[in-house]
Amino acid sequence: MPRPDPSLETSALRATGRRMPELPSQDRWNRGAWLFRDRTLHGLEILLDEAFVLPGTGIRFGLDGIIGLVPGLGDVVAGLLSLVIPLAAWIRGVPYVTLARMAANLAIGVLVGTIPIFGDIFDVAWKANKRNYQLLVRHLGEPHRHTWRDWTFLLMLVTALALIFAVPIALVVWLFAWLISH
């Protein structure tokens, strides 16, 4: 980050009687950059979804599947760890369609993962972090290019959300109509 022109600081001191605030050093802005590097994100994806192999089966699983075994809190903690990849995608400027798809992958994994036993098996098969990392890599390699699958997925997501909200509303309206008629 370039330093400001010293003459600007002198003119600001004369005009306002105050010095310009000191800009943070370049090191401060780069301290957390390692977290969002491709290598770190790929390592996180492997750690959460593919770090271990079930002997004799070839089935890969990671910490996401192990942490998810803890009832209630496990899926929430795993979901919070999984937010790093979508956050990195947002910081890198991945389009909102892709971010919505990443959020849906994560939400599906966390919501279904809360179901005892079945949810843990689903987490091992779903691999939300691997899906999200692949989306990140694909869209950084081909910036601002959406495929028909992205738009179809977004349309299905919006439709599903509309149904999720519409069903309880319809039930409440039906219940009120039924109560009024009886």
DSSP string, 22-38: PPPPHHHHHTTGGGGSH
pLDDT (0 to 100) of residue 13: 46
- Quick one: 44 exposed, middle or buried, by C-beta within 10 A (0-12, 13-18, 19+)? buried
pLDDT (0 to 100) of residue 57: 92
Q: Cα–Cα–Cα angle for 100, 104, 109, nearest 5°?
A: 155
Q: How far is CA 74 from the centre of its chain?
A: 17
Residue 71 φ then ψ, to 5°? -60, 135
Question: Where do the domains of the chain lie?
Answer: 26-146, 148-182
44: tokens are 């996180």
Cβ–Cβ < 8 Å for 129, 113:
no
- Give the tens place of pLDDT for each residue, 160-178: 767 766 777 787 888 889 9
Q: What is the mean pLDDT of residues 3-16?
A: 46
How many residues belong to the chain? Answer: 182
- Give the tens place of pLDDT for each residue, 27-45: 554 656 667 788 889 999 9
With a cut of 80, say whether residue 24 has pLDDT above it: no
Q: Can you tell me the distance from the alpha carbon of 134 to that of 12, in angstroms, rounded to the nearest whole number? A: 49
pLDDT (0 to 100) of residue 3: 46
User: In the predicted model, what is the mean pLDDT of the chain?
Assistant: 79
- Give the tens place of pLDDT for each residue, 127-154: 999 999 999 998 888 766 667 777 787 7
69 or 3, greater pLDDT? 69
With a cut of 50, say whether residue 1 has pLDDT above it: no
Q: Can you tell me the distance from the alpha carbon of 9 to that of 3, in angstroms, rounded to the nearest whole number? A: 11
